[in-house]
A and B are shown apart, each in its own frame.
Chain A
């Protein structure tokens, strides 16, 4: 077959342009969803008013206050947390070369949940306040969050230490993660068994992941961590592609596989730990969003990282919006809905076999 010079290159460019188009469409959809999400809830605000308020031409102070103080931080938290969990999942799946790797299968989330339960039970940070529409709060959220964070980092450290001890094989990391996950789940159940009603309510409340918890300051902190990690992962995108081709190929291409694996795990774990510590356990996003993105744009990390970020943001934002609308004026924790929305979408994608 004789092809003219540059024809394959041209077809390849069309191929990659198509991936870029998918990602850009996702970003446009995300912007639309952002406005829609802000506009719906206990008080409906017309989308046009949302846009006007966001660009500083608000007519109603009340709407302005709802948007700036409640809806916008919540929506942005969903976007940032979705992006962070999803990108952490992508990187973990790649460096551990295991489709089941995610912040949750590796036990990081369960460790955080145990940390919160420990804080409520042992440090006494849980209490009940009867407020309208909000039955339970954590009396000292910062201590609870800090303890959750410490435990999620602890499990990361254990996984890394084990892998260092036994040699950094992906299988060792996954297996230690699975063991940690069940250990901390058992630990949480143990604590719950001895908890009184108030403590139990606090523990359960905390473990329901919810993006409406974050204040602007907390959102800013999560955002910094997520953005820094995204930059780091993007810088390493070729290395993740190389590791996907096998450790030996990657080493032959000049990649220090063990180092990339360790640092990537550390970065992905810290992102997860920060998000889970502030927002609670939000399942599914870190596992499924990367796979949904892989189905659409393939495994090339040059596109997969950005694609998964958009997908994670979009899915968590949709889930959070639905959680606000379904049983108005009450709001479900978003973690309940991520699986409801994500699982059927994922199964649909598998059945349809959509691939570029």
Chain B
């Protein structure tokens, strides 16, 4: 088991945002956190690497409690890709190299540089290596963000709406990359998502949030149209198209 989350609660000022969150994740698995806007998906993701401190509960990553680790120790185990990344005038290489920060003592080593090169190749970003990131498109930037998180050498990737504001081709590109990394590199991933069809296509497990608590969780076979209707307030049907579950609203 790579991740075990038990009884996580989060409060913002006096407002309860997350209640009794409980789930686990195995190696080489992708979990999609789903639910309507403002339900606490991003908050939950941020609690996973202690960017936000839960009020109670435990988060074990490979049997170590994240909430008792130093922030830098967490960064060596969990790679976080936020929804939006600010663009300084850095080259793509520099931006990815930043992911080595939790491991760098004083100077970057040849290994750091070679690792960044390997990641650039893995994500087919070679041609962007020395381009400044403030000149890149949204899809390319998202790939750089994932590449940076990979440079942290994480056990678990946390992706906050990795496909929002991307076109169809880029959405597929990004999710294919995530799936490839997870299946090949012994990493697991948690993604918050809005697009149910993309989530069904690329994730192994699903976690539906409603009113700050888990409403339903499981693999694709366990997700029923009723769950989706309850969570989003929209009646749907789930059809099978070439072995891919497709959600169609029936309004």
Contact = CB atoms under 8 A, between A and B. Distances in A.
B89 A252 contact: no
A171 interface: no
A52 interface: no
B88 A241 contact: yes
A231 to B, nearest CB: 13
A245 B95 CA distance: 8
Contacts of A298: 89-91, 94, 132
A12 B101 contact: no
Contact of B132 (A244, A245, A355): A355
B64 to A, nearest CB: 15
Interface residues of A, number: 30
Given A238-B98, A298-B132, A299-B88, A252 B79 contact: yes
A12 B81 CA distance: 24
Interface in A226-261: 238, 241-242, 244-246, 248-249, 251-256
B71 A254 contact: yes
B244 interface: no
B104 interface: yes
B41 to A, nearest CB: 14
B71 A255 contact: yes
B120 A241 contact: no
Contacts of B63: none
Contact of B130 (A12, A245, A248, A294): A12
A6 B117 contact: yes
A252 B49 contact: yes
Interface string A1-42: 101011011011101000000000000000000000000000
A9 B120 CA distance: 11
A324 interface: no
A245 to B, nearest CB: 6
Contacts of A355: 89, 132
Contacts of B74: 254
Contact of B102 (A9, A245, A253, A256): A253
Interface in B90-115: 90-91, 93-95, 98-99, 101-102, 104, 110, 113-114
Nearest to A295: B89
A246 B85 contact: yes
Contact of B129 (A11, A248, A249): A11
Interface residues of B, number: 47
A300 interface: yes
A71 interface: no
Interface in B111-140: 113-114, 116-117, 120-121, 126-127, 129-130, 132
Contacts of B71: 251, 254-256
Contact of B80 (A6, A97, A248): A248
A299 B98 CA distance: 13
B101 A254 contact: yes
B57 interface: no
A294 B134 CA distance: 13
Contact of A3 (B76, B78, B94, B121): B121
Nearest to B120: A8
A5 B145 CA distance: 23
B72 interface: yes
Given A244-B86, A254-B70, A255-B71, 13 more contacts: A3-B126, A241-B101, A245-B86, A246-B86, A249-B82, A251-B80, A252-B79, A253-B75, A254-B73, A254-B74, A254-B76, A299-B90, A300-B90
Which 9 interchain pairs have the tightest Cβ spacing? A252-B80, A254-B75, A254-B72, A244-B88, A248-B82, A246-B86, A299-B89, A299-B88, A8-B117
14 contacts: A6-B114, A8-B121, A8-B129, A9-B110, A238-B101, A241-B88, A246-B84, A249-B82, A251-B51, A251-B71, A252-B78, A254-B72, A254-B101, A355-B89
Interface of B: 46, 49, 51, 70-76, 78-82, 84-86, 88-91, 93-95, 98-99, 101-102, 104, 110, 113-114, 116-117, 120-121, 126-127, 129-130, 132, 145, 148-149, 152, 158
